[in-house]
Amino acid sequence: MPQQIKKIFNKIIWWSGVIMVGLVLGLCLQFAIAATWTGPTSAPPNDNVSAPLNTGANQQIKGNFTSHIGSVALAGVLETFGFKMPTGAQPGYVLTAQDTNGQAAWAAGGGGGLKTFCGATAQTYNGNLGGYSGANQKCSIQYGAGARMCMAADFVNGAPTVNGWYSTFVTGWVDQYAVDCLGWTTNAITFSGFKMAGPHWEISHPGPWARGCESSAKILCCK
């Protein structure tokens, strides 16, 4: 009798399993028949899932952001426990914006926007430099982005080693009318009876001097 009960119990378990499998297969088939297939909304490779960051040299963008080829752009906050950008780095240099797009590079440090003497233009010019902006442009052409015509305050970071024009933004006269040659816009010899002059660094003195706007000299550049 116990043996018969055991056989009946085993059959019940077996048929219960068969019924459960049948129910599962039936439900799956029902959902498969009822489901409606939705095709892609655009032709490949459009609407693909964004690729993860990798070690490739191609442009890699995360978020709604544009960047330069070969860079990684993050539309969010980047938090890091270390930073290293060796190109152009020197002790005492600071990371400085080079344009309005946020392009940055290492440049000589100096408080209050001051820069450090980096050399003089190869060409000489009279006092008509095209204004302060024209003078700055001549320095940036020769010494790169961030370079400009030196101003007197820059020399606290180191005196020039060659002769040349520099800016003071100061008006003063005794027998000469020193006004940065009217903002570096004139090579006139006189103005209202005064001799026109611009600030000129003289190594032989050494120090600041005045020179007629009609004369030619190199431009001292700072960066």
Contact 187, 181 (CB under 8 A): yes
* Highest-confidence segment of 17-21, 78-82, 85-89, 149-153: 149-153
Evaluate whether residue 56 is within a structural domain: no
Evaluate whether residue 196 is within a structural domain: yes
CA separation for the pair 115, 153 (Å, rounded): 9
Question: Which one, of 210, 217, 216, lies nearest residue 196 by Cα?
Answer: 210
Whole-prediction pTM value? Answer: 0.52
What confidence category does residue 28 fall into, taking pLDDT thresholds of 50, 70 and 90? low
Determine the pLDDT at residue 113. 75
Q: Hey, what are 126's tokens?
A: 């009279």
Determine the pLDDT at residue 33. 63
**Planar angle of CA 153, 159, 163, nearest 5 degrees:** 105
Evaluate whether residue 124 is within a structural domain: yes
Does the N-terminal peptide bond of residue 44 adopt cis geometry, omega within 30 degrees of 0? no
Sign of CA dihedral 188, 194, 197, 202: positive
pLDDT in tens, 112-136: 578 999 999 999 999 999 999 999 9
Mean pLDDT of 12-38: 69
Evaluate whether residue 117 is within a structural domain: yes
Evaluate whether residue 122 is within a structural domain: yes
Evaluate whether residue 38 is within a structural domain: no
Contact 197, 211 (CB under 8 A): yes
Evaluate whether residue 194 is within a structural domain: yes
Determine the pLDDT at residue 139. 95
Contact 59, 68 (CB under 8 A): yes
CATH number for 149:
3.10.100
Evaluate whether residue 123 is within a structural domain: yes
Contact 173, 194 (CB under 8 A): yes
Asked if residue 219 has pLDDT above 70, the reply is: yes
What confidence category does residue 174 fall into, taking pLDDT thresholds of 50, 70 and 90? low
Count the Cβ atoms, other than its own, within 10 Å of residue 169: 12
Domain encompassing residue 168: 111-222
Contact 197, 210 (CB under 8 A): yes
What's the domain count of the chain? 1
Asked if residue 201 has pLDDT above 90, the reply is: yes
